[in-house]
């Protein structure tokens, strides 16, 4: 069975769906059956800088001789009937890991990560929202299998698109194995390299309205008034409408110990997580919330939103707060800062919770779905 996966997100996107695609492909590549192979396709202008390699000889990287913008326009805006097979050869199953699938005669699977562009349209980029509003319904209609990364996303698909629940398979994201509690010397090395001092609260995520940085800043000002020894570290690349949020962060940094790290090596994240007092992640909406389980796996306490996928993923291993309630968030931040026993208990529960999310299990579930949709063809 030849399984074709769109590898462009793995090349184009550093976090989020890019990390999902890279991690999934790596895990699937190691768990292929004897008669299975992967074909990873990408546009000619999305050449990977450091092409991955697998030693089993059953993973192919296929460069499509068209730029990504042309492919996206032709397939998902103009609906041109240029099948994927014309560009990469015959395949048995096609997987679109980023909301859309190309024209193909093979059974197709699509991953829907969230419906933020519908549930919280005020936080979605207008051009991206218009594109997804057009492309996602067509993908759902054509897909033989639909993957949702959480029960929350599955429920959203049923509510907003009347997607048949029997065609939706919930496959949670996994946690990369490198996210585990580092040794004390490693935490010290990371802190020294980034010039970070304890105690600090940490938030990780793209700088964009949906991540709710303004509530974090307001809450931290209240925490700092009671605990002037603590600082706030914000890690994330600039996203849509980042400029006014960055301006708020800069303004806060002029009067409070607030620091923004826009770009850091992902390999430093486990040490940052583990060294923090807690990860603070009160996002307005997420389809999964990977930083929550990454932090838990690394040995950090977590404070996150009390609704949707974040509450689903965190379970009883985090402190949950209403997303827009800065007073409640500040209260819980102070609790973790002041109560070592509470923090230790959250760390213990978090590690147990994070252990439930592995890419090996996700890969097995994806492969089972690929095999099923092919058999049902």
Average pLDDT, integer, range 153-181:
96
Q: Work out the average pLDDT over 261-266.
A: 89
Which residues make Cβ contacts (< 8 Å) with residue 93, sequence separation at least 6?
Answer: 1, 2, 3, 4, 106, 107, 108, 109, 370, 373, 374
For 56-75, what is the HEC assignment?
A: CCCEEEEEECCCHHHHHHHH
Predicted confidence band at 52 (pLDDT cuts at 50, 70, 90)? low
Please state the rounded mean pLDDT for residues 40-64.
78
CATH topology match: 2-174+358-375 vs 184-354: yes
Whether 356 shows a pLDDT value over 70: the answer reads: yes
Q: Are 215 and 326 in contact (CB under 8 A)?
A: yes
Kindly state which CATH superfamily the domain 2-174+358-375 is placed in: Glycogen Phosphorylase B; (3.40.50.2000)
Residue linked to tokens 């760390």? 347
User: According to the model, what pLDDT value does residue 11 have?
Assistant: 87
Q: What is the pLDDT of residues 303-317, one digit of tens each?
A: 999 999 999 999 999
> Does the pLDDT value for residue 319 go beyond 90?
yes
73 contacts: CB under 8 Å, gap ≥ 6? none
Instruction: Name residue 233's beta-bridge partners.
Output: 202, 259
Residues 6+ apart with CB under 8 A from 155: none
Q: Which two tokens stand for residue 266?
A: 């992902």
pLDDT in tens, 233-257: 999 999 888 999 999 999 999 999 9
pLDDT band at 55 (very low <50, low <70, confident <90, very high): low
Q: Count Cα neighbours of 1 within 13 Å in the Cβ-side half-sphere.
A: 20
Query: What value does the mean pLDDT take over residues 329-351?
Result: 98
Residue 24 contacts by C-beta under 8 Å, 6 or more apart in sequence? 5, 97, 359, 362, 363, 366
Task: Output DSSP code: residue 118.
Answer: H
Closest C-alpha among 156, 148, 154 to residue 173: 148
pLDDT at 46 over 80: no
Give mean pLDDT, residues 176-184: 95
CA distance 81 to 104: 9
The arithmetic mean of pLDDT across residues 346-356, rounded, is 98
Region 344-370 average pLDDT: 98
Helices first, then strands: H and E counts in the chain:
16, 13
> Tell me: the pLDDT tens digits for 188-239?
999 999 999 999 999 999 999 999 999 999 999 999 999 999 999 999 999 8
Backbone angles phi, psi at 31, to 5 degrees: -130, 20
What pLDDT does 80 receive?
76
CATH topology of domain 184-354: Rossmann fold (3.40.50)
Straight-line distance from the first to the last Cα atom of the chain, in angstroms, rounded to the nearest whole number: 13
pLDDT at 339 over 90: yes
Structure tokens at 221: 């000002």
Determine the average pLDDT of the residues in 31-56.
80
Q: Which two tokens stand for residue 42?
A: 């990408």
CA distances from 360 to 26, 35, 317, 356 (A): 9, 19, 22, 11
Count of CB atoms situated within 10 Å of the CB of 141: 9
H/E segment holding residue 22: helix 17-29
* Peptide bond preceding 326 in cis form (omega within 30 of 0): no
Distance set, CA 293 to CA 160, 233, 355, 375 (Å): 27, 18, 9, 34
Domain residue spans in the chain? Answer: 2-174+358-375, 184-354
pLDDT band, very low/low/confident/very high, at 49 (cuts 50, 70, 90): low
Task: Provide φ and ψ at 170, rounded to 5°.
Answer: -85, 120
Q: Does residue 77 surpass a pLDDT of 80?
A: no
> What percent of the chain has pLDDT above 90?
81
Q: Model-level pTM greater than 0.75?
A: yes
Task: Please report the pLDDT score of residue 70 as a whole number.
Answer: 84
Give the pLDDT confidence score for residue 64 in this predicted structure.
87
Average pLDDT on 82-100 reads: 94
Tokens of 135: 């492309």
Over range 44-63, report the average pLDDT.
75
| Residue 44 pLDDT > 90 | no
Mean confidence (pLDDT) of the chain: 94
CA dihedral 328, 332, 334, 340 (to 10 degrees): 170
């Amino acid at each position: 069975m030849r399984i074709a996966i769109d590898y462009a997100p793995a090349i184009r996107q550093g976090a989020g769906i890019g990390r999902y695609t890279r991690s999934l492909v790596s895990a699937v590549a190691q768990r292929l059956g004897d008669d299975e192979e992967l074909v990873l396709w990408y546009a000619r202008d999305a050449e990977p800088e450091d092409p991955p390699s697998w030693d089993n000889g059953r993973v192919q990287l296929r460069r499509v001789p068209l730029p990504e913008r042309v492919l996206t326009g032709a397939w998902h805006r103009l609906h041109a009937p240029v099948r994927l097979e014309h560009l990469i050869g015959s395949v048995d199953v096609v997987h679109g890991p980023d909301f859309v699938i190309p024209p193909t005669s093979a059974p197709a699977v699509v991953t829907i990560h969230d419906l933020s562009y519908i549930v919280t349209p005020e936080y979605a980029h207008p051009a991206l929202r218009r594109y997804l509003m057009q492309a996602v319904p067509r993908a759902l209609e054509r897909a033989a299998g639909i993957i949702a990364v959480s029960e929350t996303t599955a429920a959203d698909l049923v509510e907003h698109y009347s997607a048949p629940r029997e065609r939706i398979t919930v496959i949670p994201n996994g946690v990369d194995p490198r996210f585990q509690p580092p040794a004390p010397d490693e935490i010290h090395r990371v802190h020294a390299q980034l010039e970070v001092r304890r105690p600090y609260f940490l938030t990780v995520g793209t700088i964009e309205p949906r991540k709710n940085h303004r509530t974090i800043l307001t809450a931290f000002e209240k925490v700092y008034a009671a605990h002037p020894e603590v600082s706030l570290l914000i890690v994330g690349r600039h996203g849509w409408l980042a400029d006014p949020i960055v301006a708020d962060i800069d303004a806060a940094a002029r009067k409070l110990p607030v620091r923004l790290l826009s770009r850091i090596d992902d390999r430093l994240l486990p040490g940052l997580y583990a060294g923090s007092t807690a990860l603070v992640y009160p996002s307005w909406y997420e389809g999964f919330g990977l930083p929550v389980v990454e932090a838990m796996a690394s040995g950090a306490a977590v404070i996150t939103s009390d609704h949707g996928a974040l509450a689903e993923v965190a379970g009883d291993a985090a402190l949950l707060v209403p997303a827009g309630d800065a007073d409640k968030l500040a209260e819980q931040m102070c609790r973790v800062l002041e109560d070592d026993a509470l923090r230790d208990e959250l760390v213990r529960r978090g590690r147990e919770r994070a252990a439930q999310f592995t890419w090996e299990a996700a890969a097995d579930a994806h492969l089972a779905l690929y095999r099923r949709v092919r058999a049902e063809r």
